[in-house]
Structure formats: structure tokens, C-alpha cells
Amino acid sequence: MKIPLQITFRNVDPSEALEEKIRQRARKLERFDNEITSCRVVVEGPHRHHQKGGVYNVKVDLSVRDGELVANRSRERRPEHSDVYIAAKDAFNAACRQLENHIRRRQGQLKTHEASPSGRVSHLVREEGYGRIETVEGRDIYFHRNSVVNASFERLKIGTKVQFTEVPGDSGPQASAVKIEGRGGLEA
């Protein structure tokens, strides 16, 4: 392994088998080897005062060219982490995801989500099951009762703030996935 690896055991006896599993997992990170400058792993056993049900905490600390990434599974009190090998696998999987995201973010490849268009309900025809939204820019967008996703069409009022996805319709733009903004969003 080219990447410097440091393994520390706390409240648990060192195990050659576990060390080998950790080394295998760390070797898988070598595909990013020009990114990682060091890898430190801390395996912490359940506290001695626990009779049973204690979980292992595994922390993988990666130093990269332009920062540091820490995958710490100690906050996840998952019952399967009573097996140190599963706790180690989960920590390395999290470290790998963090490293991949770090590289994508630096390269500008992470997706950024644009805010959904928003507006206010400006017109309702309850008998026929449709309405219109006036956008912040002043455009008029048609929507159907089936487009309302987080409330019932009957509860909408003129002036209700909504967000939506705009799609082309037969007679111009229309809104799909109309979501009421705020807590219940039914205040005008």
C-alpha cells in the first residue's frame, strides 16, 4: 500500500484479522491515490461498563491534498455495529463516498439543484378541477387538480403560495408537481 496507514485500537484488543480487513479496505481507496496523503483509522470498542449491546465505533480520517475528510460512524447506534467488521465496512464505505463527492465538488461536477419556480394561486375553477398560478415574474401558468402533491385541491385558496415544476402543455406552459409552501401553506 502506497498510502500511509495508521490503525489505532481503543477499548478493544488488536486483531491481526481485523487489521488485514482494514488494510484491504484502505487499499481500495488507492484508486484515488494522488488525492490521499494519509489514512488514519480508529477502532473503538464498546465502553467497558456495558454488559451487552455495545457497538463499535470506527473512524476513518483521510488527509487529502486540499483538506481532511472524516467518516465517523459513532453517531449511528446501529445494532449491526455490534460486529466490528460491519462497523469498519460502513465507515470505509462512507469515507469512499465522501472522497468521491469531495473530488466531484472540486471539479465542479456535483449537481446543483435550481430552485423550483414559485408563485401564488391566482384563479380557481373548483367545479372543473383546475386553476392558474401567477409567477413571481408575472407569468400565468395553468395547473390541474391532479398536479397538487402535498395538499388537496379543495383546500387551495386564491393567494396560496406554491412552488411547481413547469412543463409544456397543449395550450402553453403548465405546472406539474404543485407544492404548497410553508406550514400547510394555506394562508393567503
DSSP letter at 45 equals: P
State the pLDDT at residue 105: 79
Q: What is the pLDDT of residues 107-145, one digit of tens each?
A: 776 566 677 888 999 999 999 999 999 998 889 999 999
State the pLDDT at residue 185: 45
Pairing of strands 172-180, 161-169: antiparallel
pTM score, whole prediction: 0.55
How many helices (H) and strands (E) would you count in the chain?
2, 9
* Segments of the chain with pLDDT less than 70: 1, 33, 47-53, 73-77, 109-113, 183-188
State the pLDDT at residue 41: 93
State the pLDDT at residue 45: 87
Q: What angle do CA 187, 174, 138 make, to 5 degrees?
A: 60
DSSP letter at 77 equals: -
Q: Which domains does the chain have, with CATH numbers?
A: 5-107 (3.30.160.100), 118-180 (2.40.50.140)
Q: How far apart are CA 132 and CA 4, in angstroms?
A: 62
Q: Which residues contact 57 (CB under 8 A, 6 or more apart)?
A: 42, 43, 44, 72, 73, 74, 81, 87
Please check whether residue 132 is in contact with residue 143, taking contact to mean a CB–CB distance below 8 angstroms.
yes
State the pLDDT at residue 6: 94
Q: By three-state DSSP, how is residue 140 classified?
A: strand
